[in-house]
Copies of this chain bind each other. A is one copy, B any other.
C-alpha cells in the first residue's frame, strides 16, 4: 500500500503521520521524498487495512493498493489450478464442465425430459431454477420447494448432479441436503450475510459475477466464502451491465483471462443470460472455450416458446446436441476434455 501526501505537507508533519500510521497498523513504513509530494510505502500484510480511513487524513492526498486484497483465492499463494469434483465429475484443470437445463423447473415431465436429453448429448450437470429472482413481483417466481423435489427426481432418473440457485439463507440447510452445487445469483453476489453462511457449509458454490461488479469484487465475494472454510468455489461470468443494450448484458470474456491470472479457482461462462439471445449461445460457447473457460452453463428447454421464463435465450435439445458436439472439437483443440461421469 502506498500513501501519497499533499503538496503542502511539511517534513515535520510527514514524520508525525508516519509515526501515527506505524503505531496504528502492523506494518513497516518507508518513505520516498519527491519534488512535490512524499510517498509512504507500507511493508507487511495490508489486506486488513481500510484504505478509506487513511485517505481521510488531512495530510493525505491519495492511497493506492499495490497488491490484491484477496488471499485464499489468490493464485500468488496457490499456483496450481483448483479442481472441484462433484459426483465423479471434475471442473477445472483439463476438465470442462457443461451444465445444461431449463431456466425454471416447470413440471416433472419437463425437467425429466430435458435432463434425459442433455444427458444423452453428454452434459456434465443438470441446471434448473426452483427459486427464481424476477424483476417484477407479478412474474412467475418458480416452483420453489416443489421445484427442488422435481430436480431430485430428474437426478434420480439420469444420474446428473444438480445445480440450482439459492435466494434466501433460510433455505441453506435444505439446499445442502438436496443439491450438488449451490448457485449464488448475480443479484446476491454481495449478499454478504448469505456468503458467510455458505462459507460454513462444505458444498461447492457456483458464484455468478454481479451485474456491475469488478473482477476484484467478484473474487472478494469468493474470498468471503473461502474465509469461512469452504474453498470449493466456481466463478461464473454472466455478462456485465454496460451502455450497450442490443444484448441483455455484455459478456466479458477477457474476464476469464483475468481470473485465470489472479486466482486458482475454476471459472465458467453463462452465454444464455449474458446475451439474452439464443442465436448467440453457440458462438459464445465456442468463444468461452477458446478464451480458457472451465465450462459453460446453458439454458436448454424442450419448448422454448412455452417456457415460463427466459424463453428468448433457451435453445432446444437438438440445438444443444449440435453445440456440445462442436464444443468437443474446440476442447480437443485446447487439449482439454468435456468432463463426464464415471
Interface residues of A (CB under 8 A from B): 2, 4, 7, 30-37, 39, 41-45, 47-48, 50, 52-53, 55-58, 61-62, 64, 66-67, 69, 76, 131, 133-140, 167-170, 187-188, 190-194, 196, 211-212, 214-217, 220, 223-224, 227-228, 240-247, 250-258, 261, 274-280, 283-284, 286-292, 304-314, 329-330, 333
Known A35-B43, A56-B312, A66-B62: A170·B167 in contact at CB below 8 Å: no
Q: Which of A36, A214, A241, A256 has the largest number of chain B CB atoms within 10 A?
A: A241
Question: Nearest CB to that of A132 among chain B residues?
Answer: B192
Which among A140, A255, A258, A290 has the greatest number of chain B C-beta atoms within 10 A?
A: A290
Residue contact B36 to A32, C-beta cutoff 8 Å: no
Q: In the complex, are the beta carbons of B304 and A280 less than 8 A apart?
A: no
Q: Which residues of B contact A309 (CB under 8 A)?
A: 50, 52-53
Find out whether the CB atom of B215 lies under 8 angstroms from the CB atom of A193: no
Partner of A290, one of B135, B137, B283: B283
CB distance from A222 to the nearest CB of B (A): 10
Indicate how many identical chains form the complex.
Answer: 4
Q: Assuming A32-B43, A62-B66, A64-B2, is B48 touching A245 (CB within 8 A)?
A: no
Q: Verify A139–B35 contact, CB threshold 8 A.
A: no
Q: Which among B32, B214, B290, B333 is the interface contact of A243 at CB below 8 angstroms?
A: B214
The reply to whether B167 and A169 form a contact with Cβ atoms under 8 Å apart is no
Q: How far is the CA of A191 from the CA of B135 in the complex (A)?
A: 10
Residues of B close to A56: CB separation below 8 A: 278, 304-305, 307, 311-312, 314
B246 touches A250 (CB 8 A): no
Q: Which residues of B contact A53 (CB under 8 A)?
A: 305-312
- Within the assembled complex, what's the spacing in Å between the Cα atoms of A245 and B215? 9
Instruction: Determine how close the nearest CB of chain B comes to the CB of A143; give it in whole angstroms.
Output: 15
Given contacts A2-B39, A192-B134, A286-B291, contact A244 B215 (CB under 8 A): yes
Given A32-B43, A290-B283, do A223 and B137 touch, yes or no (CB 8 Å)? Answer: yes
A-B contact pairs, 26 of them (CB 8 A): A36-B67, A47-B138, A48-B136, A50-B140, A53-B311, A56-B278, A69-B138, A133-B190, A137-B196, A137-B224, A187-B192, A212-B241, A214-B243, A215-B246, A240-B242, A244-B252, A245-B245, A253-B253, A253-B284, A254-B275, A283-B291, A283-B292, A287-B288, A287-B290, A330-B333, A333-B333
